[in-house]
Amino acid sequence: MNISSGLFLLVGSFLCVSGGVGVLRFPDFYTRMHAVGVTDTLATAMILIGLMLQMPEGIVVLKLIVILLMTLFISPTASHALANAAMNNNLKPKLNMNEDSKGQTSSNP
Amino acid sequence: MKDLLAAIMLSGIYGLLSASFFVAMDAVDVAFTEASVGAGISTLLMLAAITITGHSEDPVRHKPVLAAIVVFITGGMLIYGTLDMPYFGTAQAPVHLHVVPRYITESMQEIGVPNIVTSVLASYRAFDTLGEVVVIFTAGMGVLALLSMVHGPMEKAEFESINDSMHEKYLILRIVTKILIPFILIYALYVQFHGDYGPGGGFQAGVIFAAAIILYAMLFGMRTARRVVNQALVRLIAAFGVLFYGSVGVVSLLNGKNFLDYSALSADPVAGQHLGILLIELGVGFTVASVMVIIFFNFEGRRKKSNTTETKV
C-alpha cells in the first residue's frame, strides 16, 4: 500500500516538474499552455490517488474523490478558456519550427 | 510594474502563497480566508475594476524618492520594534499567557465547539466580529453610493450581450459552469454550517457563495444574471445580515445577560452558545455574500454604461 502510494505520488510530482520545464522551454504560448494543461490534470489525479492510498478511510477518500472530479472538470476547461481567449485576441501560433531554432528565445506572448 | 493586469495576477499569486504558509503554520482558518478572499474574490473585484479604468498605469512624473525614504524608515522602525518581541514560539510570550490558556482549556466546557478559532471569533470576541461585519456592510454601501446609478430607460437600449445560452463561442465554458455551480453553492453551505467543527464559517462561505453567482454573471452576461439575482433583494439581505447579528445580541441583552452572550438563548448555556454561533455565522454569511455580489454588479454595470456612452459619442 505504502509503496504503491509513493509510486503514484512520485509520478505525479514528476509530471508537475515536467510541466514546469515545458512552460520554460517551449517556443510559443500555445505549446507552453499545452504542456501545463495536459500534465497538470494527470499530475493532480496521480497525487490525489496517492493520497487516497495513504489514508483509505471512507470520508477522506470521498472528499479526495470530489476534489479529483472537480479538477478533472476545471483544469481542461481553464486551458480551453485560456486558448480560446488567446485565439480571440489574434495571437497566432508559431508554426514554422525549423526557422527559429533553439538558440533564439521566443518573444513573450 | 506598469501593467496593472500583471500586478493583479501577482497579488493573487501572493495571496495563494501566503495561504499556503498559513497552512504550514497550522492556521487553517486564516489560510482558508486568505485563499478565498485574498486570492479569490479580491483578485476578481480588482479585475472588474481595471475593466473600468484601463490596463496600464499612468506615467509617473515625479521621482518616488521621498516615498522610498518613508518606506525605508518605517520598515526599519518596524524591524527595530521586532527586536523587543519575544522569541518566535516561546511559551513565555504575552500572547500565550493572557487569555489563550483559558480558550484552550475551557472553551470546550464553556462553548462546546471543537474548532476553538470559531468559538473565539464568534463567542468570546463576538463584538469585534460584529464590527467586522459592519465594516463589510459599509464597504458595500460605499460602492453603492459611489458607483450605482439610476436605471433609466437607457438600460433597455443596452447592447445585447450574447444571450443565447448555447452560443458556440462559450459553449464549453457555459456547460461546465452549469455543472459546477450547484456544487459550489453546496460547498458554500457546507463551509457555512460546518464552521463549528472544521475550518470555515460565515466569511468564507459568503465569499464562496458570491463567487458562484459572479461566475454565472461573467459567463451568461449581466442581463441574465440581473434577472436571476434581484438587486433590491440582495441589498435587503445585506442589511438583514447585520441586523440579524445585532438582534441576536439584543435578545441576550433582554434576557438579562451581556450583549452577545449566547448563554441566554437557551436553558442549557452550552446549547445556547452553539445556537448563537450558528445564528451569527448565518448573519455574517448573508452580509458578506450579498455585499460581494453588490460590489461586483455595480462595477460591471458601470462598465456597460461607460461603453454605451462611448459608442454614442
Q: How many CB atoms lie within 10 A of CB B264?
A: 18
Q: End of a domain among B35, B69, B85? A: B85
Q: Name the average pLDDT for chain A.
A: 80
**pLDDT for the residue B313:** 37
Kindly state whether residue A41 falls inside one of the protein's structural domains.
yes
Per DSSP, B263 falls in state G
The answer to whether residue A103 scores a pLDDT higher than 50 is: no
A81 close contact with B: CB closer than 8 A = yes
CB contact under 8 A, B176 and A77: yes
What is the pLDDT, as a whole number, of residue A106? 43
Which residue in chain A is spatially nearest to B181 when comparing CA positions?
A70
Between these two residues, B99 and B160, which has the higher pLDDT value? B99
B75 pLDDT above the threshold of 90: yes
pLDDT at B197 over 90: no
Q: Which of B5, B169, B170, B172 has the most A C-beta neighbours within 10 Å, making it the best mutation to test the interface with A? A: B172
Range of the domain at B151: 113-312
Residue in this structure with the C-alpha cell 528565445, named with its chain if needed: A105
Domain presence at residue A102: no
Distance CA B259, CA B249 (A): 5
Q: Residue B97 and residue B124: Cα distance in Å, rounded?
A: 17
B1 occurs within a structural domain: yes
Residues B75 and B139 placed together within one structural domain of the fold: no
What confidence score (pLDDT) does residue A97 get?
57
Confidence of residue A105 (pLDDT cuts 50, 70, 90): very low
Higher pLDDT, B83 or B169: B83
| Residue B75 resides in a domain | yes
Tell me the backbone φ, ψ of residue B177, rounded to 5 degrees. Answer: -60, -40
Three-state DSSP at B3 gives: strand
Considering only B38-52, B86-100, B144-158, B263-277, which range has the smallest mean pLDDT?
B144-158
How far apart (Å, rounded) are the C-alpha atoms in residues B280 and B241?
8
B122 and B48 housed in the same domain: no
C-alpha A82: how far from chain center: 13
Question: B213 and B294: one domain?
Answer: yes
- B98: helix, coil or strand? coil
Domain-terminating residue out of B85, B100, B124: B85
Shortest distance, CA A98 to any CA of chain B (angstroms): 32
Model confidence, pTM: 0.78
CA-based nearest distance A66→chain B, Å:
10
A 10 A CB-CB count for A14 gives 13
Predicted confidence at residue B296, as pLDDT, reads: 87
pLDDT digits (tens, 9 = 90+) for B82-91: 888 777 777 7
**Region B190-195 average pLDDT:** 86
How much is the pLDDT for B257? 79
Cβ contacts below 8 Å, chain A against chain B, sum to 15
ipTM over cut 0.95: no
- Which of A43, A46, A41 is closest to A8 using CA atoms? A46
Helix (H, G, I), strand (E, B) or coil at B56: strand
Domain contains B91:
no
Place of cell 452560443: B167
If DSSP codes are grouped into helix, strand and coil, which group holds residue A32?
Answer: helix
B16 confidence band (pLDDT: 50, 70, 90): very high
Residues of A whose CB is below 8 A from B176: 73-74, 77
In tens, the pLDDT along A42-93 reads 898 899 988 888 877 788 888 888 889 888 888 888 888 888 888 888 777 7
Q: What is the C-alpha to C-alpha distance for residues B92 and B72, in angstroms, rounded to an integer? A: 31
Do B46 and B126 share a structural domain? no
Mean pLDDT taken over chain B: 81
- Confidence tier at B137 by pLDDT (50, 70, 90): very high
- Residues 6 or more apart whose CB falls under 8 angstroms from that of B278 comprise B193, B196
Phi, psi of A55 (to 5 degrees): -135, 80
| Domain boundaries, position A60 | 2-88
User: Do residues B59 and B117 both lie within one domain?
Assistant: no
How many domains does one find in chain B? 2
Number of domains in chain A: 1
Q: Answer yes or no: is pLDDT of A26 > 80.
A: yes
Find, among B207, B241, B39, the residue nearest to B133 by Cα: B241
Chain B CA closest to residue A82: B173
- A42: cell is 494527470
Question: HEC profile for B246-286?
Answer: HHHHHHHHHCCCCCCCHHHHCCCHHHHHHHHHHHHHHHHHH
Q: Does A73 touch chain B (CB under 8 A)?
A: yes
Q: Is residue B43 part of a domain?
A: yes
The answer to the question of residue A94 being in a domain is no
Residue B162 pLDDT > 60, yes or no?
A: no
pLDDT computed for residue B291 by the predictor: 92
